[in-house]
C-alpha cells in the first residue's frame, strides 16, 4: 500500500499537466519534436505567436517537465554501432529491491538505450541494446548481463533493419481535453 500514494501523486501531476496544455502548447510540442533546434522566432511564427509569449510558453513547458530535454539524434551505423538487439530478461524473485538494483545496473550500461519493465510470462525486462558488433554483444552478455543478481534467463533478438526509431510522440489524444 505504500506505493499507491506516490503513483497517485504522479498520475495527478500528469493529468494536471495534460489539462493545462492548450492548442498552442500542443503546436509548440509538435513543432519541436520535428525540429528541436528551431529558433524561437521560427517557432513563434509556426505557432502564430509573437516571440515573447512563445518563449514564455516554451520556458513553462520546460519547467513543468513536459519538455524533458533536448539532444542530437545520431545515426547508429555512422558512429560504428551496427548491431541493435532487443533483449528479454527473466529474473528470479520479484521484490522492489531486486527491481531497483537491476534498474540501476541497466541505467549504468551505456549500451542499453532503452529499458522497460514488462508484463507477461517470458520476461520481466525488455532492453534495447546498441553495440558495435556481435563480439561486443557477447562480451556485454557474458561479463555484465548474465552476472547481474537474479537474472534467470536472457533471450536476444537481433534487429535486421530499423524502420522507425525514436519517432515523435503522438499528441492527438490531448486534443480531446481542449
pLDDT one-digit tens code per residue, 50-78: 999 999 999 999 999 999 999 998 999 99
Q: Give me 72's grid cell.
A: 542530437
The reported pTM is 0.80
CATH class of 77-158: alpha beta
Whether residue 138 has pLDDT greater than 90: yes
Torsion angle (degrees, nearest 10) of CA 129, 134, 140, 145: 70
**Assigned fold of 4-71:** Arc Repressor Mutant, subunit A (1.10.10)
Domain residue spans of the chain = 4-71, 77-158
Amino acid at each position: 500500500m505504500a506505493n499507491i500514494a506516490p503513483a497517485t501523486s504522479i498520475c495527478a501531476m500528469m493529468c494536471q499537466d495534460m489539462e493545462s496544455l492548450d492548442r498552442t502548447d500542443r503546436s509548440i510540442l509538435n513543432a519541436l519534436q520535428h525540429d528541436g533546434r528551431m529558433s524561437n522566432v521560427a517557432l513563434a511564427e509556426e505557432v502564430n505567436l509573437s516571440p515573447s509569449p512563445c518563449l514564455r510558453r516554451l520556458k513553462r513547458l520546460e519547467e513543468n517537465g513536459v519538455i524533458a530535454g533536448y539532444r542530437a539524434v545520431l545515426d547508429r551505423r555512422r558512429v560504428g554501432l551496427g548491431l541493435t538487439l532487443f533483449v528479454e530478461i527473466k529474473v528470479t524473485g520479484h521484490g522492489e529491491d531486486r527491481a531497483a538494483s537491476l534498474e540501476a545496473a541497466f541505467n549504468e550500461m551505456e549500451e542499453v538505450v532503452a529499458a522497460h519493465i514488462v508484463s507477461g510470462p517470458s520476461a520481466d525486462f525488455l532492453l534495447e541494446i546498441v553495440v558495435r558488433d556481435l563480439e561486443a554483444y557477447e562480451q556485454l552478455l557474458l561479463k555484465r548481463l548474465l552476472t547481474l543478481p537474479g537474472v534467470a534467463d536472457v533471450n536476444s533478438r537481433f534487429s535486421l533493419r530499423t524502420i522507425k526509431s525514436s519517432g515523435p510522440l503522438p499528441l492527438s489524444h490531448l486534443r480531446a481535453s481542449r
